[in-house]
Amino acid sequence: MMARFEDRAIDIVLWGSLAGVLIFFYIPIFTLIAFSFQEGRFLTLPFEGVSLRWYGDLLHNSNALTALRNSTLIAAVTTLFATTIGTMAAIAAVRYRFRGRQAFQLLAGAPLAFPQLLLGIVLLLWFSVLGRALNFNTGLVTAIIGHIVYITPFATVIVAVQVHNFDATLEDAARDCGATTWEMYRFVTIPLLWPGIFSAAIFSFLLSWGNFYLTYSLAGSARTLPTFIFSGIATGSSPLYPAIATVVFIPGILLVILANRLRRS
């Protein structure tokens, strides 16, 4: 009887803690979504009415559309390079034995230990010195480089988990059947690692898409959605910015769900 009571108490504490954490995380998000449907010009309670006005204004706001285009460009290019480099680094770090392997693993994951703000300042100083020597300014290119430096270790860790669980005998079987190294990677290794690679790509895209500190430090005068929202909120509150956040949040959640289902399959 006492054991059943203890099990019941543990279940209540665990599920209660989980519910509390979810409520703590998601109430601000749902509150933000609710404010995006407010008809008034300011984020105030009670609502002056319910309307889709701000979503319509968003479609005709040239600054917001430019920021959206810049964010998409930075995230897409960062995802391509971070996932490619991360996949190669994960395969090298997990599958192969070579001199300096531990140092390579340490250096590959070192950017994970850097706070984004500090990394952004260090890269800004580096680009400032290099820019004076080569006559260029910070912009989308420098922002992309900064994102790649920061996000590649995350992609490496995600793919490394998939590589660690990979059955190497399948590659041996491919070699026994006459496959070249390229054919082995193309038809055996990469397809079997694809769930991890795809999950790393989605995570890299979302991490780059919503990044503020690196973008704010390295993008120069170019605006992305995070910096556009920051500058708008700094000058005044408007339901336009919750509308932008909602438009960004919903596709992001769908991508996370898709990546999780693919990883499980």
| Range of lowest pLDDT (9-13, 161-165, 194-198, 213-217) | 9-13
Answer whether residue 47 is part of any domain. Answer: no
Answer whether residue 74 is part of any domain. Answer: yes
Q: How would DSSP label each residue in 84-136?
A: HHHHHHHHHHHH---TTHHHHHHHHHGGGGS-HHHHHHHHHHHHHHHHHHHT-
Q: By the 8 A CB rule, do 92 and 104 touch?
A: yes
Answer whether residue 14 is part of any domain. Answer: no
Amino acid 58: pLDDT: 77
Band of the pLDDT at 193, cuts 50, 70, 90?
A: confident
Residues linked to residue 38 through DSSP beta bridges, in sequence order: 50
Question: Stretch 152-164: mean pLDDT, rounded?
Answer: 86
Q: Can you give the CATH number for the domain in which 133 is found?
A: 1.10.3720.10
Question: Stretch 116-144: mean pLDDT, rounded?
Answer: 84
Answer whether residue 40 is part of any domain. Answer: no
Amino acid 76: pLDDT: 93
Answer whether residue 5 is part of any domain. Answer: no
Question: Stretch 203-208: mean pLDDT, rounded?
Answer: 88
Answer whether residue 30 is part of any domain. Answer: no
Looking at the structure of the chain, the number of domains it has is: 1
Amino acid 7: pLDDT: 66
- Give the range of the structural domain holding residue 73, as residue numbers without chain letter: 62-264
Is 160 a residue whose pLDDT tops 80? Answer: yes
Answer whether residue 231 is part of any domain. Answer: yes
Answer whether residue 13 is part of any domain. Answer: no
